[in-house]
Amino acid sequence: MSLEEIKKVRIKKLEKVEEKESAYPASVFRDFSLAEVVENFSKLSKSRKKISLVGRIFSIRSHGGMIFCDFKDGSFSEKNGQTVSLQAYLKKDVSGEDAFSLFEDTVDVGDFVEFEGSLFKTKRGERSIKVLLWRIVSKGLRPLPEKWHGLSDIEERFRKRYLDLLMSDEVRLRFSLRSKIIAEIRSFLNKQGFLEVETPMLQPLAGGALAEPFKTHHNALDLDLFLRIAPELYLKRLLIGGFEKVYELGRNFRNEGIDATHNPEFTMLEFYQAYKDANFARSLVEDLFNVIVKKIFSKKFFKYGEHQISFSKKFGVMSFFDVLERHALLNNPREATRDDFKLKAQQFGIDVSEADSKGKIADNIFKKICRSKIIQPTFITDHPLSISPLAKRKVGPSVGEADLADRFQLIAGGLELANGFSELNDPREQEERFEKQQELRKAGDKEASEFDESFIEAMEYGMPPAVGVGIGIDRLVMFLLDVPNIREVVLFPTLRNK
């Protein structure tokens, strides 16, 4: 039977129900959730009191004058990772012939039904409600998929996430854990004295990161605006305004390709603390990750892909150029020229444009060749200053003449999980950095930063020494839940039109 034929049959059933009452009432009678019923089943069943329950029908079985159906109301047990189900038992001589026949003739899998009756256990020990009265409270016009994960088009799971959640407890648990991870992050930062804030998502200039933005237009103001690529420059304005510790958890938007670790809109955490530097932030990030792993997963070892990830010891530390030397086999990369990096990039099949700086070419090699080889949690430090236009320059006898940023990235399982640096707070140097970024934009680099005059003006009032950190929530969830594709941890990922 085709979908259109199924819908016609269901609409006829709907019309039959509506001859007596609405199939979409505004309110329902519900005494307990199914989770509460299961938890207190012994007490509730012994009382033999009539109760009202509501849920969606997932299976129907008829045996002469009896009907058995399994229903769920959305209750979910994270303890066993399953949605809670109960059986409804209808008997013709109990509910009445008319009510029994109406159920048999009009109720389908997928319908929401309200049941009134008493609880009991069948001879097989199955928790059930013996139904005295029932009514449809929402009639489904399309059939639920029978074997959802057998569908050949995997994108249908992402397009119709509501069905994916209905039919897969594993998916349901994944998003429940994602919510817990975010809640734990908030709890950690709040306990550290950070203030959660909200900054604009529509911005006159797209700044705070190296990325191509989405552009839109505000009609009333006749003003071109950009969906933010990062909240960084506004959060730093709050440091200037006197807040010492701030964070924001929200959406960012970048007009870039889609792959296993990139979605055009994604959830980002950024936090800033005055009077601290990158070394302090590394310790804070390590503490945060250990708290999440301990409180939510209660273990220090877990699997990501083929690898066993350990949180039982201090995170490793390697410099950016040492990583290039070890994993990309670059000889003395600190002293290498742009041509040296360009030649190496071409050997790896990496495109190089005339606008690409030496640092950007090196970073592209790092992303394509090196990052996937870093499995255990490791801080990568001392990045080229040219790809860190908002970071403070690293100084000290060990640095020498190299243009390095006081910056780090946290890599684990081949994924970038965090990025942080001591914030540049000298308005004169920031202005010079913006000017260099403008030169790169003119040369064709769409990801280079815009010149933000209003941010320079704010800095000229005085910005305290500070550190900032960004953590990609989607990738963090991918990593912690051993999921290979970012679309599996985003409820409604961006997809091509069908």
Distance, in Å, from the CA atom of 358 to the CA atom of 341, rounded to the nearest integer, reads 7
For the segment 392-445, what is each residue's pLDDT rounded down to a tens digit?
A: 999 865 555 568 999 999 999 999 999 999 999 999 999 999 998 888 888 888
Structure confidence at residue 151 as a pLDDT band (50, 70, 90): very low
Q: What average pLDDT does the structure give for the chain?
A: 92
- Token pair of 443, please? 């040369």
Distance, in Å, from the CA atom of 238 to the CA atom of 371, rounded to the nearest integer, reads 33
CATH of domain 166-315+376-488: 3.30.930.10
Instruction: Centre a 10 Å sphere on the Cβ of residue 365 and count the other Cβ atoms it contains.
Output: 24
Give domain limits for the chain: 3-144, 166-315+376-488
Distance, in Å, from the CA atom of 483 to the CA atom of 428, rounded to the nearest integer, reads 44
For the segment 159-218, what is each residue's pLDDT rounded down to a tens digit?
A: 999 999 998 899 999 999 999 999 999 999 999 999 999 999 999 998 888 889 999 999
- Token pair of 199, please? 């900054």
Burial 459-482 (b: 16+ CB within 10 A, else e): beeebbebbbbbbbbbbbbbbbbe
Superfamily of domain 3-144: Nucleic acid-binding proteins (2.40.50.140)
Beta bridge partners of residue 82, listed in sequence order? 77
Q: Are 292 and 181 in contact (CB under 8 A)?
A: yes
